[in-house]
Homo-oligomer: A and B are copies of this chain.
Amino acid sequence: MTPDRIVIRVGETESVIWLGRGVLEDAARFLVSPSGRYLLVSSRATSAVRRGLRDILAGSLLLDLEIDDSQRMKTLEAVRAVADAAIEAGVRRDDAFLAVGGGVVTDVVGFAAAIVLRGVAWNAVPTTITGMADAAIGGKTGVDHPLGKNLLGAFHPPRAILVDPAAATTLPDRDYRSGLVEALKGAWIGDAELSARAEARVDAILARDQDALFDLVGGAARVKAEFVTSDPIEQGPRRLLNFGHTLGHAFEAAAGYRDLRHGEAVAWGIAAALEISRERAGLSVKDAARVRSVLARLGPFPAPVRSPETLRPLLSRDKKATARGLAGVLLETVGRARVEEDVPLDEWLAAAQRVELD
């Protein structure tokens, strides 16, 4: 099967997404390393994919490192450990990293690639739904700080992103379901037809039907690629990708990055943003119900912390906070979103307090 090829231009860097079944078996054709040498960094959870890549790249591997893929390891220390291992292995400017895993691994490795020798190339093989549809695409890398998510990082796009649904077949159910939230988000903000197809096939997707899954993930990757290409520095359409993330990040932090998966927190964040979208963006009752119903079928998700006392300081520290409030991404209709500047904190907090998914 010939894979789909999506090109993303971010500044002077060109990223290519290769989408298709069998892409991983042909990885050597798609990965990019100026020297031909690779520094493989993978999560422990991806042993089958890693073994396959290791066999394919045998003889070209300068490093073969396993790291922890849990959200709590998305730290500057983890970046440093990857950088140290690369330097000890003798990394040169024309070598390339290869990150295999979920969003934590691609963020940590992408950030390490950004700062080792002031920047070397990297490639991403996302093994989670979130990674395939969203996290590995677009060049934002980052790690968390005790005071907030992604407060340290760099823009450093991967040269190649290999998306093969085969990499997701062994995902635990909870990770699979929460990952679908980011993929659906892409559909809802940017592609009405994709949204309708996914909605009609939620059961097949949940049953891990490869065609249905691939249609959704590939479509979401396309939406993200389009937004990122048209807006590399995040002044315009790219901001729409934050749909559900303003409260989502606060829910995630309030849960100590432990009791809620990122996608679960975003699901609650989307549900709350639907309320604000009803009031401020003319979202119809019917469209809000459609989105909420799909989210409910992915769940049930653990309940978020709703108290304003906990959420207010977390929202105030958001990178996008201003004195007047917090910009929000609002849905106008399924498939189309817009940014609303300076939505008052109290409105966010009220939406969080009454959010439900059922």
Contacts and interface: CB of A to CB of B under 8 A. Distances in A.
A116 B152 contact: yes
A319 B92 contact: yes
A245 B93 CA distance: 18
When all copies of this chain in the complex are counted, the total is 2
A151 B115 CA distance: 8
A117 B11 contact: no
Contact of A90 (B87, B88, B317): B317
B87 A145 contact: yes
A151 B114 contact: no
A135 to B, nearest CB: 15
A90 B83 CA distance: 28
Interface in A134-166: 140, 142, 145, 147-148, 150-155
A241 to B, nearest CB: 14
A151 B76 contact: no
Contacts of A286: none
A153 B155 CA distance: 13
Interface in A53-88: 76, 80, 83-84, 87-88
A173 interface: no
A20 interface: no
Contact of A118 (B92, B145, B154, B321): B154
A12 interface: yes
Contact of A87 (B93, B151, B155, B322): B151
Interface in A108-128: 111, 114-119
Contact of A11 (B12, B80, B84, B152): B12
Interface string A260-303: 00000000000000000000000000000000000000000000
Given A12-B11, A92-B321, A119 B151 contact: no
Nearest to A321: B92
Contact of A83 (B111, B152, B317): B152
Given A88-B147, A115-B154, 17 more contacts: A11-B11, A76-B80, A83-B145, A83-B151, A83-B152, A84-B145, A87-B145, A90-B317, A92-B321, A93-B319, A111-B115, A114-B154, A115-B115, A116-B151, A118-B142, A118-B150, A119-B155
**Top 10 closest pairs, chain A to chain B, by CB:** A118-B153, A115-B152, A87-B147, A117-B319, A87-B151, A87-B145, A118-B155, A115-B154, A118-B154, A83-B152
Interface of A: 11-12, 76, 80, 83-84, 87-88, 90, 92-93, 111, 114-119, 140, 142, 145, 147-148, 150-155, 317, 319, 321-322
9 contacts: A11-B12, A76-B76, A83-B151, A84-B145, A116-B151, A117-B153, A118-B142, A119-B155, A154-B154
